[in-house]
Amino acid sequence: MATPSCVDLEQVTAVVEWQWEGVTRLLSAPDPENIAIRFTLQLEPTERDSQHRAHFEVVIPIRFKDKPAGAAVYLRINPASITSFGFTTPTDAPEVVKQLFDTTTCLDLQLNDAITLIVPSGVKEPIAASRARSGRILDSLYELTQATSLRVYIQDSQLSTDDLQAISDRIEQHQLEPFSGPDYDISRMFSGEGGKVTTLAPLKPPSYEKAINLHAPNDPPRGRKRPRTDTHEGPVNLTQIWDKLNKLESIVREVQELKAENAKLRDLKQQPLTEHAQQEDMSQVVLELRAENAQLRDKVTLLEKKHEDLEAHVASLQTAQVNQDDADEAASIELREDITVLGHRVDFIEGYRDDDLITKIKEEVFDEIAKRIIGG
């Protein structure tokens, strides 16, 4: 048995697969498609020996008729209802799964109880979709709530093998119980609006007249002879007829939903937004403006800091320039004084007479000779 551990896998992208009347179904694109289906798996030990709490949940975005701006459906799986938990890394995953994940882990759950469906408390019963895509998701959700097994595909790196084995061991030993507390209270879900548990009505088969009028084949022109009938045909298979009628009804419903959606889109082009939609749009605009204002404040602060740094740098340059100008001026004054002195000296030398110099030399020589004669 794997060592008990805590697992906290919250709101990761996922694809859900189940079987319906022998056909494999996949749900990978919610409404709107740019918001992914999310899967949460949590596991932690309790104070009691070997007992663990667990939480399994799938969130599927959808547009209700009462909430055209968008909401979600929560699928909660009671951990006590999981009879087996397998995991593989398939190489032959469906193409839509390969497009989402480089490598995939497939979680295979077998159930002995129905999946719980939670919607916002403000959504009216019976649950209705705002457009055809969400209507098809509701059909898939009805099938999912009837399924006794499902697969969840997630990115392979989300859970380690030890985590997966620990979950499988806890389920095998019947050691799981649901989480409790305010974080798991449905009355606090949907941003405080609260949620409620609901069930979806089964798909209704089409009426005989609708099925015949919509899909009656073009009969070939009859000849005069009565066509031959095969008297060896077996009894009519009512199950096959019923399946065909179900498919026809599904097609009729999709066509009607598409027409209704197109009519709504035309109305939206001609009419202003409803008060509720305007409030939601204004709330979104306010959030975007707040974020933009925060970015602008940061930019203004940065620009003010740069401006202060530039002013200090300019001031230091101006001071250095003044000092340099003073030094240059002092040097210039000193140079001019030196030039003046040198000029005076040159003028003195050039203006001095040579005859006076010779006479002075002669006198000095005569005086020296006379001193020597007198002194004997």
Tokens of 145: 């709530």
**Given this model, what pLDDT does residue 166 score?**
93
Q: For the ranges 24-33, 176-185, 342-351, 354-363, which has the lowest average pLDDT?
A: 342-351
Predicted local confidence at residue 226, as pLDDT: 45
Contacts of 149 (CB under 8 A, 6+ apart): 18, 19, 108, 109, 110, 111
Q: CA-to-CA distance for 340 and 337, rounded, in angstroms?
A: 5
Decide if 212 is inside a domain: no
pLDDT at 23 over 60: yes
CA 178/CA 53 separation, integer angstroms: 5
Confidence of residue 352 (pLDDT cuts 50, 70, 90): low
- C-alpha distance from residue 28 to each of 15, 34, 319 (Å): 5, 11, 70
Beta carbons of 130 and 65 less than 8 angstroms apart: yes
Confidence at residue 227, expressed as pLDDT on a 0 to 100 scale: 45
Residues 78 and 170 in one domain: yes
Give the Cα-Cα-Cα angle 175, 147, 78 (nearest 5 degrees): 25
Per the CB < 8 A criterion, the answer to whether 37 and 58 are in contact is yes
Nearest to 54 by CA among 16, 15, 86, 85: 85
* 374 lies in some domain: yes
Determine if the peptide bond prior to 126 is cis (ω within 30°).
yes
Look at residue 207 and tell me if it is in a domain. Answer: no
Q: Token pair of 157, please?
A: 């790196």
Do 73 and 169 belong together in one domain? yes
Task: Please check whether residue 206 lies inside any domain of the structure.
Answer: no
Of 37-41, 123-127, 167-171, 291-295, least confident by mean pLDDT is 291-295
Provide long-range contacts, Cβ within 8 A and 24+ apart, for 275-284.
276/69, 277/68, 277/69, 280/69
Instruction: Please state, as a whole number, how many other Cβ atoms lie within 10 Å of the Cβ of residue 38.
Output: 18
- Predicted local distance difference test score (pLDDT) of residue 365: 82
Per-residue pLDDT at 325: 72
User: What pLDDT score was predicted for residue 229?
Assistant: 42
CA distance 265 to 347: 108
- 39 with 136, same domain: the answer is yes
CA distance 16 to 274: 34
Domain that holds residue 168: 7-198
Q: Residue 3 — very low, low, confident or very high, per pLDDT cuts 50/70/90?
A: low
Kindly state whether residues 181 and 73 are assigned to the same domain: yes
Contact 114, 75 (CB under 8 A): no
Question: Does residue 120 lie in a domain region?
Answer: yes
In a domain, 256, yes or no: no
For residue 296, give both structure tokens. 């602008």
Q: What is the mean pLDDT of residues 169-173?
A: 94
Does the structure show a pLDDT above 80 at 221?
no
Q: How far is CA 199 from CA 110, 136, 142, 144, in A?
A: 21, 16, 8, 11
Instruction: Please name the residue ranges forming H helices in 150-274.
Output: 161-172, 208-215, 238-270
| Residue percentage of the chain with pLDDT more than 70 | 76
Q: Is residue 48 a part of any domain in this protein?
A: yes
- Judgement on whether residues 14 and 163 belong to the same structural domain of the protein: yes
Residues 136 and 280 in one domain: no
Residues 71 and 167 occupy one common structural domain: yes
Pair type for strands 116-120 and 23-27: unpaired
Task: Inform me whether the pLDDT recorded for 354 exceeds 70.
Answer: no
Give the Cα separation of 133 and 261 in Å (integer): 10
Q: Are 193 and 278 members of one domain?
A: no
222-276 tens-digit pLDDT:
444 444 444 434 444 555 566 666 667 667 776 777 777 777 777 666 655 455 5
Q: What is the DSSP string of 250-263?
A: HHHHHHHHHHHHHH
What is the structure's pLDDT at 208? 45
Letter for the amino acid at 148? T
183 with 295, same domain? Answer: no
Indicate the average pLDDT of the chain: 80
As a whole number of Å, the end-to-end CA separation of the chain is 142
Residues of the chain with pLDDT > 90, as a percent, come to 43
129 occurs within a structural domain: yes
User: Nearest to residue 7, comparing CAs of 170, 250, 148, 215?
Assistant: 170
Domain boundary among 198, 230, 255: 198
Name the CA radius of gyration of the chain, rounded. 48
| Whether residue 308 sits in one domain with residue 190 | no
Least confident of 31-35, 123-127, 337-341: 337-341
Domain end residue (candidates: 144, 167, 198): 198
pLDDT band at 199 (very low <50, low <70, confident <90, very high): very high
Give the count of domains, the chain.
Answer: 2
- Using a 10 angstrom Cβ sphere, with 0-12 exposed, 13-18 middle and 19 or more buried, the burial of residue 221 is exposed
The confidence band for 289, taking pLDDT boundaries of 50, 70 and 90, is confident
Give SS3 for 226.
coil
pLDDT digits (tens, 9 = 90+) for 81-102: 999 999 999 989 999 999 999 9
Q: Are residues 177 and 280 located together in one domain of the fold?
A: no
Q: What is the pLDDT of residues 108-154, one digit of tens each?
A: 999 999 999 999 999 999 999 988 999 999 999 999 999 999 999 99
Average pLDDT of 162-169? 94
Q: Which of 198, 227, 262 is the last residue of a domain?
A: 198
User: Which residues are bridge partners to 111 per DSSP?
Assistant: 82
pTM of the prediction? 0.56
- Rank 24-28, 284-288, 325-329, 365-369 by mean pLDDT and report only the highest: 24-28
* Whether 27 and 165 share a structural domain: yes
